[in-house]
A and B are shown apart, each in its own frame.
Chain A
Amino acid sequence: MQANLVVTSQDNVFFCEHFAAIRSEVANMMVGQQAVIDGVLTALCAGGHVLLEGVPGLGKTMLISTISKAVNLPFSRIQFTPDMMPADIQGSSVLSETAGGGHELTFQPGPIMSNLVLADEINRATPKTQSALLEVMQEKQVTVGRKTFKLDEPFCVMATQNPVDQEGTYPLPEAQLDRFLFKLVVGYPTEQDYHTIIDRTTSGEEVVVSPVASGEILNQMRQIVRRMPVSEEAKTFAIRLVMGTQPGSQYATDSVNQYVALGSSPRGIQSLMLAGKVNALLNQRSAVSADDIRAVALPVLRHRMVLNFKAQASAVAADDLIITLV
């Protein structure tokens, strides 16, 4: 019992210390956007994927690249275009010449074969290409031909999409959206942040991001998160919250019944639990409470609710409905 206590207290300290270190290192490069940084790191520690939505020029790509530098993990960037094929993502077999003058097919891994993957403007890819990401994101493996390639942990896909300029885009299907742990909305920086951006990016000052973590540390952090216990009260609250997003259920509000076409799936409850555990660890607690669930409800559920035309015509957003539920 005493040993467990020691381990436990060390786990708490370990987690919090490394989390804070990564955060501070990323903040050296990123100006502002503290909530987005915490959300991406939370998803990274919980073992999930992140969808970032924001207008161009807000530093979404720079954020992910900075994180990859801070955790010292391989990072790959995929710029999606309408003419992209699945092989461009997964990799393909190419004919290569052997030493004896012969030829053989060798598999060339695609950019998805990395720890941290930035899928830039994912909504520009065709559904065929988007579906190639489904297996990778869920199973964390790539099947090409008859071969299956397991991806190294930690593996995290950070996708971005542009909310405006929807010309020639393909909205992500609900099945693919459901595989993202968080959907974070990147907004404009504050006035003070603009001053800092100018000082850092337009002057001769060069910011260097040092690695403060590694893949191993991230894996340990993920295991600590998995070991966090959850009280029955928190479980009940999370279950009722997810059921409340489903129209027609006993916990759904009138607005949900009116504006929601499709509610959250059971992946939503899994995401709530994992993200709630990370939030509890960050608050120096040893168990998940309903407050932790409330803190992560918005990024977890906002992309899992499909609104109907009435909601679109009435300018009702998913965030408004989730706020009424929590």
Chain B
Amino acid sequence: MSVQPQPLTQQLNRLAARGRRRLLQVIWFKANRQAIANALLSLPIMPLTALILAEATGVSTGSTMSLALLMLVIALVVYALSVALKLLNTPVSRSQSLAVFDEAMKSQQRIVTADEFLQQPVTSGFQVAAINDASATVDQALNFRFKPLTGWWSGVSGYAYSVAALACIVLISHFFMEPAGTKLPASVANDGSSLTTPRQTNEATLAAQNQAQSGATRDNSQPEPTTITPSASPRLMANTMQVPNDTLSAQSAKTNATAGAAAGNTKQDDSPSSSGTSGSSGASSGSPKSASRQNKASSGKPEAPSDTAQSMAQRQSAAVMNNGEPASGSPAAAGENAAQQQDESADSEQNDATQPSGSAADDSPASGDNDSAAPASTPAKAAAKAAKPATEARKGQQQQQQNQSGNQSNRNSQNSGNQAGDDGKKQSRGIGGLMLSVPMADQFIGTQGPGPQQQKTQQTTPEKQISEQPEAQARGHASGNTGQHSLSQEEAWEKRLLQGFYKRGDNPQTNQNKKTRGQD
């Protein structure tokens, strides 16, 4: 047996290069797993930061797409940094490169030992024997093929995946919150009683108005561009009514003037304002109804100044809708029609009104004045009755919208959202539209928003509740022998442990042994 160091050295160099490549591959494999986990863990940074900024400062943080792009960029950067750091902090030495083959082939470190002995002066026969012993193993290693590494994506902890899912959820919530901002509307915190009370009167008035409008030749299925909802702000209503401004102002004045006169008078000639305006004859056919509503509204519960303006605006809008309709018949017939419509509206209000203030409005003297009017014509009555379901449905929607909004500012937002824009696109209803709201008095907490509010307080006494007697008291005393218990079986090591523990403390020789232990 002869030693051939040169070829063996070259073979070992080749093995070292192959082993280094293999080790780097394994390191990258493991680094990839860790880097994926780090990248997934870094996903929530951007959406959470955006959410916190939006909540704390109210600053808009950009669109969801930009956030998603930033998330991806940050994740990629974290991934690249993790892999780079792992590769840089894991140096691969020559002995490690060769040890890869020893481990794979179970050669008991023959290759590594031979390489080590070749790099130093050979001083003993054992070293030469070790080198020669490794030559056969080196030949086998040159033809050895490692198993391919698979499943680089596996092994990532479920925690990382859950964090990534959380990031996606936050991003999706940001998407939904984006149009209306990230702040929750303050209407959620308002008192529930204030939601419905100020608008009940408006709802009754509006229902009557809508009923009157639907009693005309208009198609109820068509959306009324200027349909006034109880939540519509006076400003908005004023904006929508700015087109025929002159007519509005004239008609509003005439409406107020003829509110009381049209109910009892069949002749409009006595009304200076109505005769003064030709166009008002047609308007007056509908205006008595609105006038009656106005009377009811005015004779009902005292309204806040904003409510009065709101009702005024509603009537103006109704007048706008009625504007352009031809006058129906003579003033007397118009008066009869008006009276008939008033009765119909009174009936519909009595049937439809669910709020006490609405019914109170019906019981007002103004309604009494309306009842004294002449019986309405049959077609108008039928039309009015036909319009009842639509009116009721609209009224229900309006009521629901009232409850959802909560306060004036939210009403503004809803009006801005509900109102179809000039471009006809559907706008979001805001966060209120997403909430399942149930009108509950005294359940909302928080700061009051601007707008008319009415609070009700009711003192309640706590109810006594009788608790049932616990079962323990009914059991009675337990007495008697508990029975025998089996002794615990001690194992041999337990006995030795206890014996040793107690003996070491008592035996003076043991204490002396403890002293001698320090002497070595």
Binding site for B on A (CB under 8 A): 1, 3-9, 11-12, 126-127, 131, 164, 166, 170-171, 173-175, 227-229, 231-234, 283, 285-287, 289-291, 309, 312-313, 315
Contact = CB atoms under 8 A, between A and B. Distances in A.
**Interface of B, helix, strand, loop or mixed by DSSP:** helix
A297 B331 CA distance: 119
A285 B95 contact: no
Given A4-B125, A231-B113, A234-B109, A287 B500 contact: no
B51 to A, nearest CB: 39
B346 interface: no
B116 A231 contact: yes
Interface stretch (B153-161, B333-341, B508-516): B508-516
B464 interface: no
Please list the 10 inter-chain residue pairs (A to B) with the smallest Cβ-Cβ separation, ordered nearest first: A4-B125, A8-B125, A286-B129, A289-B109, A286-B130, A287-B130, A231-B113, A175-B520, A289-B108, A287-B113
A127 B109 contact: no
B94 to A, nearest CB: 12
Given A5-B125, A227-B124, A229-B124, A175 B108 contact: no
A115 B243 CA distance: 126
Nearest to A230: B113
A232 B116 CA distance: 8
B117 interface: yes
Nearest to B494: A315
Given A4-B124, A285-B133, A289-B109, A173 B492 contact: no
Interface in B298-319: none
Contact of A229 (B112, B127, B517): B127
Contacts of B95: 232-233
A286 B116 CA distance: 13
Interface of B: 1, 3, 95, 99, 108-110, 112-113, 116-117, 122, 124-130, 132-133, 492-493, 496-497, 499-501, 509-510, 512-513, 516-517, 519-520
A11 B128 CA distance: 14
A294 to B, nearest CB: 11
Nearest to B499: A166
A166 B510 CA distance: 13
B3 A1 contact: yes
A228 B513 contact: no
A289 B497 contact: no
A174 B514 CA distance: 10
Contacts of B133: 285-286
Contacts of B497: 312-313
Nearest to B503: A166
Contacts of A164: 492, 496
B516 A127 contact: yes
A11 B129 CA distance: 11
A82 to B, nearest CB: 9
B509 to A, nearest CB: 6
A269 to B, nearest CB: 17
11 contacts: A1-B122, A8-B126, A8-B128, A127-B516, A231-B109, A233-B95, A285-B108, A285-B130, A286-B133, A287-B130, A313-B497
A315 B520 CA distance: 29
A166 B500 contact: yes
Contacts of B132: 5
Contacts of B517: 173-175
Nearest to B112: A233
Contacts of A7: 125
Contacts of A173: 513, 516-517
A227 B126 contact: yes
B113 A289 contact: yes
A262 to B, nearest CB: 10
A5 B127 contact: no
Given A233-B113, A286-B129, A287-B117, 7 more contacts: A1-B125, A4-B128, A6-B125, A229-B117, A231-B113, A233-B112, A287-B130
A315 B110 CA distance: 39
A313 B126 CA distance: 48
A229 B513 contact: no
A12 B126 CA distance: 9
Among B125, B497, B520, the one with the most A-chain Cβ atoms within 10 Å of its Cβ is B125
A285 B112 CA distance: 14
A126 B508 CA distance: 12
A233 B94 CA distance: 12
Contacts of B492: 164
A227 B123 CA distance: 11
Contacts of A11: 125
A177 B199 CA distance: 95
Nearest to B513: A127
Contacts of A9: 129
Contacts of B126: 8, 227-229, 286-287
A316 B117 CA distance: 41
Contact of A291 (B109, B130, B493): B109
Contacts of B513: 127, 170-171, 173
A291 B108 contact: yes
Nearest to B133: A286
